[in-house]
Chains A and B, each alone.
Chain A
Amino acid sequence: MLRRADPRRLIRRVAPARITRMAAADSRRLTRRVGTDAERLTRRIGTVFTSRLHDERVAAWLGLCLGVSFTVAFVTGLVSHFMQHPPSWMVWPSRPVGLYRFTQGAHVICGMATIPLLLAKLWTVYPKLWQWPPIRSVAHAARRGVVFLLVGGSLFQLVTGLFNVDYWYPFPFFFTVAHYWTAYVVFGAVLIHAADEWAKVKGLRRPPPPYGPSRRGFLATVAGACGLVAVTTVGETFTPLGDLAVLAPRRPGTGPQRLPVNKTALAAGVTRSTGWRLTVTGAVRRELSLGLDDLRGMPRHVVRLPIACVEGWSAEATWAGVRLRDVLRAAGVEDDARVRVESLQKEGLYRTSQVDPPHWHDPLTLLALEVNGEPLSLDHGYPCRLIAPDRPGVMQTKWVAKLEVS
């Protein structure tokens, strides 16, 4: 909350400063007129912020919360990135089943709830933007440079992230790549900023000044705003609160066959094909070419698994089909084989996905033919899609046509 600015006090405070400034400016007028004007303006702006809430302790509290939230976002973001693009030495476990669902839900919901927090923090420290002189030394310049990276980067991450979960792409770069690399810049700046400001966080336990508006009230207001954002969105991934998700971009039960869709068959350029066959090639003892009836003739398994999307929503469904490992064993593969699953989709970043041993050994990993008791609809990957535990939704390849073993 802004404290009421008493105009008379403002004038009293500004006036003597201005007189001395003008006297000093007189002597330098010819050489530094532009500089003086800038100084006068800047100092003037700096005197407008009279609220006691532009206070170190408030900033430190908010900064501490932001530090926690940005760390959660950074770690869960790295988990998501390296699950989708694992280096050759990295193998992810297939359990716990809901691990990715949890980390990505935390990433997105935390990120959205951080928006009020970041705005409050920037409001609190805004007068510092107008400090004079703007640069005191090389070290000060470096520090302000890091603060610029921090402010620009935080806003960049939260704005692009929010636009992305709402499927709005007004920017000229590819979201995931920009969000990923900018995260390093932001987190690096967070570390440096934390090192600089840690002394202020240590001062949090000091008693507050006995005047001015309530610090607690302000912090509670910010917490309330963050909480309200979280409560009205978290239901898109935490199904028991699904009814509260009135501002979430997705609802767990909404979509064909009561399940949301990320990419439709139309968007992927896939049409209902006749004569579909699943081929298994590569490092196999015998190549296979299976029709839909061949798959239906294999042992049928039913699993309950979530689709956990990179955009933060997730929804459970009941899937039925054949185990991926049964198909691979029938073709004769090594235990440490890696499998590339290819889609009918002609192009697009996610037309193939890699399945590592822990996932294809897992009895829950299916080549699903049915969802929620019906044959897959075309938008859900008819005739056959991959569904595996602990795996980003974009890697649950739809319209599977080929398994290439290596």
Chain B
Amino acid sequence: MVRRMLYAAGAVLIGVGLAGIGRHIGVVGWAIWFAGVAVAHDAVFAPLVFGAAYVTRRAPAVWRRAAVVAGTVTLVALPAVLGFGRRSDNPSVLPQAYGRHLVAIVTLIGLVTGAVAALNAYARPMGKAILSIVGVLLAIWLVFMVIGMIISALKFLIWIGFLAVIGAVIVTLISKMAKSS
């Protein structure tokens, strides 16, 4: 039942979309791009990825994972790096040095991966020890920070209480003085 409703809703949406495309867009250009991106992926991009995976089949998993992250981030950043959208009249469009930033990010990924790989490969027991020490330090820091925040909140409350007491004393004194005079 639910499945039939989903089928029906899906078919209606597809129909609405195709009708709108027929009415409002040059169908040929649209169809070329629609089929074109699918063909470009299936016939060009995917085989390249499988080829790259085959070539790197002996590489450690951590490096291949790093390559996946770096590769996809590069793809997303590519139009900005190429910068075809830049306009001379509008420097606030694509204002950054995207090529340099991308290189920095990929380098960072490489460094982190290298550190992880080194820990994995050469210093398993020691690496674990180092990591746990770092973890304990972080935890201690966190605990103290939270305690500090609580204390500073308390301090704030104490200050407010202190000020309130002073205020009360002053008010009482003034009222007493007013009475006596």
- In the complex, the answer to whether A264 meets B90 with C-beta atoms within 8 Å is yes
Task: Give the contacts of A132-174 with B (CB-CB under 8 A).
Answer: 146, 148-149, 151-153, 155-156, 159-160, 162-163, 166-168, 170-174
Distance of A84 from chain B, by nearest CB (Å):
15
Write the chain A residue with the least CB distance to B94.
Answer: A249
- In the complex, the answer to whether B68 meets A188 with C-beta atoms within 8 Å is no
Instruction: Assess whether A278 is interfacial by the CB under 8 Å rule.
Output: no
- Across the interface, B17 reaches (CB within 8 A) one of A49, A115, A188, namely A188
The CA-CA distance from A217 to B95 in the complex, in Å, is 36
Distance of B8 from chain A, by nearest CB (Å):
9
Instruction: Assess whether B30 is interfacial by the CB under 8 Å rule.
Output: yes
Which one, B48-56, B129-137, B142-150, B161-169, is touching chain A? B48-56
Given contacts A182-B34, A191-B9, A192-B10, contact A264 B20 (CB under 8 A): no
The CA-CA distance from A401 to B94 in the complex, in Å, is 30
- In the complex, the answer to whether B92 meets A225 with C-beta atoms within 8 Å is no
- Across the interface, A190 reaches (CB within 8 A) one of B10, B34, B69, namely B10
Instruction: Assess whether A187 is interfacial by the CB under 8 Å rule.
Output: yes
- Could you say which residues of chain A place their CB within 8 Å of the CB of B179? none
Given contacts A194-B6, A232-B105, contact A247 B80 (CB under 8 A): yes
Instruction: Assess whether B119 is interfacial by the CB under 8 Å rule.
Output: no
The CA-CA distance from A190 to B7 in the complex, in Å, is 10
- Could you say which residues of chain B place their CB within 8 Å of the CB of A180? 20
Number of residues of chain B lying within 8 A (CB) of chain A? 65
- In the complex, the answer to whether B24 meets A177 with C-beta atoms within 8 Å is yes
- Binary CB contact string for chain B from 1 to 40 against chain A (1 if under 8 A, 0 otherwise): 0110011011111111110110011100110011101100
- Across the interface, A126 reaches (CB within 8 A) one of B46, B64, B85, B96, namely B46
Write the chain B residue with the least CB distance to A158.
Answer: B37
The CA-CA distance from A224 to B113 in the complex, in Å, is 13
Write the chain B residue with the least CB distance to A129.
Answer: B42
- In the complex, the answer to whether A155 meets B41 with C-beta atoms within 8 Å is yes
- In the complex, the answer to whether A168 meets B84 with C-beta atoms within 8 Å is yes
- In the complex, the answer to whether A123 meets B46 with C-beta atoms within 8 Å is yes
Given contacts A163-B79, A191-B13, A225-B73, contact A250 B93 (CB under 8 A): yes
Instruction: Assess whether B58 is interfacial by the CB under 8 Å rule.
Output: yes
- In the complex, the answer to whether B29 meets A247 with C-beta atoms within 8 Å is no
Instruction: Assess whether A48 is interfacial by the CB under 8 Å rule.
Output: yes
- Could you say which residues of chain A place their CB within 8 Å of the CB of B25? 173-174, 177-178, 181
Given contacts A172-B26, A190-B10, contact A48 B34 (CB under 8 A): no
- In the complex, the answer to whether B68 meets A221 with C-beta atoms within 8 Å is yes
Distance of A227 from chain B, by nearest CB (Å):
9
- Could you say which residues of chain B place their CB within 8 Å of the CB of A186? 17
- In the complex, the answer to whether A166 meets B69 with C-beta atoms within 8 Å is no
- Could you say which residues of chain A place their CB within 8 Å of the CB of B93? 167, 249-250, 260
Instruction: Assess whether A91 is interfacial by the CB under 8 Å rule.
Output: no
Instruction: Assess whether B117 is interfacial by the CB under 8 Å rule.
Output: no
Given contacts A152-B34, A174-B25, A195-B6, contact A249 B14 (CB under 8 A): no
Distance of B90 from chain A, by nearest CB (Å):
5
The CA-CA distance from A168 to B98 in the complex, in Å, is 15
- Could you say which residues of chain A place their CB within 8 Å of the CB of B34? 152-153, 156, 182
The CA-CA distance from A177 to B144 in the complex, in Å, is 55
- Binary CB contact string for chain A from 215 to 240 against chain B (1 if under 8 A, 0 otherwise): 00110011011001100100000000
Instruction: Assess whether B176 is interfacial by the CB under 8 Å rule.
Output: no
Distance of B50 from chain A, by nearest CB (Å):
7
Which one, A251-259, A342-350, A368-376, is touching chain B? A251-259
- Across the interface, B13 reaches (CB within 8 A) one of A119, A163, A188, A246, namely A188
- In the complex, the answer to whether A156 meets B37 with C-beta atoms within 8 Å is yes
- Could you say which residues of chain A place their CB within 8 Å of the CB of B105? 228, 232, 246-247
- Binary CB contact string for chain B from 80 to 108 against chain A (1 if under 8 A, 0 otherwise): 10101111011111111010011011000
Name the residue in B53, B68, B98 with the highest tally of chain A Cβ atoms < 10 Å from its Cβ.
Answer: B68
- Could you say which residues of chain B place their CB within 8 Å of the CB of A1? 53, 61, 64-65, 68
- In the complex, the answer to whether A167 meets B87 with C-beta atoms within 8 Å is yes
Distance of B30 from chain A, by nearest CB (Å):
5
- Could you say which residues of chain B place their CB within 8 Å of the CB of A183? 17
- In the complex, the answer to whether A221 meets B16 with C-beta atoms within 8 Å is no
- In the complex, the answer to whether A160 meets B33 with C-beta atoms within 8 Å is yes
What are 12 A-B contacts with C-beta separation under 8 Å? A149-B14, A160-B33, A168-B85, A177-B24, A178-B25, A187-B10, A190-B10, A195-B2, A247-B80, A249-B94, A250-B95, A264-B90
